[in-house]
Structure 1
Amino acid sequence: MIARILLSLVLLTSPASAQEAVARFGNGEAPFTIRSTTDIAILRPALEAFAERRPDLAITYEQWGSSALHVNESGACDGDVPSADVVLSSAVHLMVSLVNRGCARPYVSDLTRALPANRRWRDEIWGVTQEPAVMIYNTDSISGEDVPLSRFELLDLMRQRPDLLYGRIATYDIEASGLGYLFAYVDSLEATTFGSLLEGLARTDAIATCCSAEIIEGVSKGDYLIAYNVLGSYVENASPPNVGTILPQDYTLFLSRGYMIPEDAANPTAAEEFLDFILSEQGQAILVSVGLIYSNDPAEDGVIQSARRSVPLALPLLVALDATTERQFLARWTAAFEQVSAP
């Protein structure tokens, strides 16, 4: 029998508690707490299936923003707030920093060993999804040759159609979104177009906002015509009929959400079992069905192998968190906007 789900989408206003929503799964008595940046609606099928396998558990799933989750789990690592049993986040540079601080428990199984080297680090963090960073566009307003299939074509469109795009391109606010900062930082390392792209976004008065759902809805409504660096899984789950998705042909970043078992987890056994479940054949099939794993077949997703760029779970990600690097990067972002916007 499918486990009964007690779901409460409660927006919390207390500054000491920054969950965006909370859901409860199962009727058991053993507490099991997951803190995650993944929308409840997306991960629900996996949580339901795991609750069926472990009817003794009372699963609490807390949905957080990536930056707030990092602050909370840093506090948990220091013993200031209660620890979760699982932390699952798309802001993997922040996750690597927690592991590097000694905040995680190690675990090894046949399934974790089978992961590629760039999706596991120190047997303390594991990449459990494969999600591209995509461009999206409003198909009612942009079509045919105007659809930019690469960053180069996006630059051309911004230069050729500034009247069309002014104030109608969206991207993540890299100061508010840990994921947005990560994507922008990796872009700065990968793309020869980064400087020009930054200036183009500024010149067209691009909108920086925090959240995938807000960006996707804005594109669907026509408030924005194009959005850059949106996580593809959220687009696939929203499935708006008038929003097209582009996996950039120059290169497409693929992100694996980081899974960590905190050192002070109260129920580490359940955390290990949940990790193995989502890495199992059944779990991976569920993640495919909800869009958290994209195909590795170029015939299906249109991205040739040489254009794929994985964000590795590894120590070099900490460079993005170096105080001087972060300050200089944010200053470069801000200065480009100010320079173009100045009279």
Structure 2
Amino acid sequence: MIRAVFIALLLLAAPARAQELVRDFGPGSATETLRLRSTTDIAVLGPVVEAFLAAHPGLRVAYEQWGSNAMYGLQAADCAAGRAGADLVISSAVHQMVDLVNEGCARPYRSALTAALPDALSWRDELWGVTREPAVMVYNRDLVAPAQVPRSRFDLLDLLRPTESPFRGRVATYDIERSGLGFLFAFADSTEATTFGGLMESFGRSGAIATCCSAEIIDGVAEGRFFVAYNVLGSYALARARHDDRLGVVAPQDYTLVLSRAAMIPRAAGQPRAAAQFVDFLLSEEGRRALEAALLIVRLEGGDGAPIELPQASETLQRPIALSPALLIVLDAHKQALFRARWRDAFPATPDAVP
């Protein structure tokens, strides 16, 4: 009952309930259509879809891009109604995906490639981690002096501590009320970081901004409305930094959360075979190369590649977010209420941006 009420609240919070963007890939003459719902920007995952279709000429993909909370609510509703909606779902809000699997909303599939995944990236042959994306800090190179660039959460605290800090009102992060991914990252921090309480207090005292989504936050940093952004999904930040010299991207040296977007074939999928083929492609060598080119796989072991700033390869402490029933605690109604109340104390108002 508590879960049903929570899903209903999510649906009410997003009354439009429409996908953000849609795009069809592949020939109109294709004999099969795979309906893909994902929180991943079409511009980011699109080249990977095209690489998959190159080997499947009789298939087309109808891609729907959704916000995580709205997609979670829709998938739960489809599941409860036994309704065929998406054939494959890929979400960055992996705690929501674990819940859908736990509620019997997924169709099992097993292949040599899914079986080869480590336990942390596979659950019950129904959920698979297909990317590797760090949570990073992003800063404006023109506005933040090299000596001030935060390399850890402790550094960020130091920047916000002075009463007259120039960083007041110029630090941004996800609004956990609107972003399932933002909630997941913040909750993971609360269990990992001794700095979490201090960060919440500093965010509140310094007027930090909680806002909607990756693109909005990164745009704000590039344009100088924000000096630093905290806990941003690294794949999007690095994709922008490739073409925008104003942006610097840092993997925090105290620890770096690493997310693997979760893929699931819904129980009522109309094209489960095509969905399974796409899952296997994402896990294949060719698919991994395509994901790495799209910066949906980011390596934190140093060397050439994505322009991410690391302290030293040997010192990057990675904290992968495992796909497991332990994530269900993130959706516990009581814990969510307490966590959201703590968040609202730090962010009593969430203006879109500072002037």
Q: TM-score, normalised by structure 2?
A: 0.88
Equivalent-residue separation in structure 2 for 1:178 and 1:99 (angstroms): 17
Cα-to-partner distance string for 1:23-58 (whole Å, 9 max, x where unaligned): 101111312100000001111111112222112123
Residue 266 (structure 1) aligned with residue 266 (structure 2): no
Amino acid at match of 2:299: S
Q: Which runs of 5+ in 1 are unaligned?
A: 1-13, 339-343
Correspondence for 2:118: 116
17-26 or 247-256, larger mean C-alpha shift: 17-26
Could you tell which deviates more after superposition, 329-338 or 113-122?
A: 329-338
- 2:290 alignment partner in structure 1: 286
Matching residue of 1:331? 341
Once residues 123 and 54 of structure 1 are traced to their aligned partners in structure 2, the CA distance between those partners, rounded to angstroms, is 24
Residue of structure 2 aligned with 1:71, choices 67, 70, 73: 73
The answer to whether the aligner puts 1:255 opposite 2:265 as a matched pair is: no
TM-score, with structure 1 as normaliser: 0.91
1: CA distance between counterparts of 2:251 and 2:159?
17
| Contact 2:253 2:316 survives alignment (8 Å) | no
Q: Distance in 2 between matches of 1:305 and 1:263?
A: 42
Identify which of 170, 175, 178 aligns with 1:176. Answer: 178
What secondary structure sits across from 1:167 in the alignment?
coil
Tell me whether 1:185 sits opposite 2:195 in the alignment. no
Deviation string, structure 1 residues 98-152 (Cα, Å, up to 9, x no partner) = 0000000111111111111101111100000000000011110102211110000
SS where residue 232 of structure 2 aligns? strand
Residue correspondences, number: 326
* Structure 1 residues 156-208: Cα deviation after superposition (integer angstroms, max 9, x where no partner): 11113743111111100001100000000000000000000011111111111
Q: Secondary structure at the match of 1:142?
A: coil
Per-residue deviation at 1:306? 6.5
**Aligned residues of 2:22 and 2:62 also touching (Cα < 8 A):** yes
> 1:32 matched to which residue of 2?
34
What does the per-residue CA deviation read over 1:7-33, in whole Å, with 9 as the maximum and x for residues that have no partner? xxxxxxx94542000010111131210
Partner of 2:220: 218
- The answer as to whether partners of 1:98 and 1:104 remain within 8 angstroms in 2 is yes
Cα distance in 1 for residues equivalent to 2:38 and 2:148? 37
* Distance of 2:210 and 2:21 partners within structure 1: 23
- Residue 104 of structure 1 aligns to a residue whose secondary structure is coil
| Mapped partners of 1:158, 1:299: distance in 2 | 32
**Which secondary structure state, in structure 1, belongs to the residue aligned with residue 165 of structure 2?**
helix
Match of 1:322 in 2: 332
- What is the distance in 1 between the residues matched to 2:65 and 2:263? 14
* Alpha-carbon shift at residue 228 of structure 1 (Å): 0.3
Indicate conservation of the 8 Å contact 1:149/1:248, yes or no: yes
Q: State the distance in 1 between where 2:347 and 2:47 align.
A: 42
RMSD, matched Cα: 1.7
SS in 2 for 1:73: helix
- How far apart, CA to CA, are the structure 2 residues paired with 1:117 and 1:124? 12
The structure-2 alpha-carbon separation of the partners of 1:215 and 1:336, relative to structure 1 and needing over 3 Å to count, comes to: closer
3-state SS of the aligned residue for 1:78?
Answer: helix
The letter for the 2-side match of 1:21 is L
Specify whether residues 304 and 311 from structure 1 end up closer, same or farther in structure 2 by C-alpha distance, changes over 3 A only.
farther
Checking the alignment, whether the CA contact within 8 Å between 1:251 and 1:309 is kept in structure 2 is yes
Superposed displacement of residue 335, structure 1: 2.3
What is the percent sequence identity of the aligned residues? 52
1:307 aligns with 2:285: no
Partners of 2:76 and 2:314 lie apart in 1 by: 38
CA contact 2:210–2:347 (8 Å) conserved in 1: no
Distance in 1 of aligned mates of 2:97 and 2:344 = 26
The separation in 2 between residues aligned to 1:146 and 1:210, in whole angstroms, is: 26
**Residues 89-108 of structure 1 mapped to structure 2, 5 A cutoff:** 89-108=91-110
Using the alignment, how far apart are the partners of 1:24 and 1:247 within structure 2?
A: 35
- Provide the rounded CA distance (Å) in 2 between the counterparts of 1:68 and 1:16: 9
Aligned 8 A contact 1:298 1:305 in 2: no
Query: Could you give the per-residue CA deviations for residues 260-302 of structure 1, whole angstroms, max 9, x where no partner exists?
Result: 0000000000000000011111100011011000115245663
* Counterpart residue number, 1:11: none
Query: SS of the counterpart of 2:322?
Result: coil
**Residues 96 and 234 from structure 1, CA distance in 2 versus in 1: closer, same or farther, beyond 3 angstroms?**
same
Equivalent residue for 1:18?
18
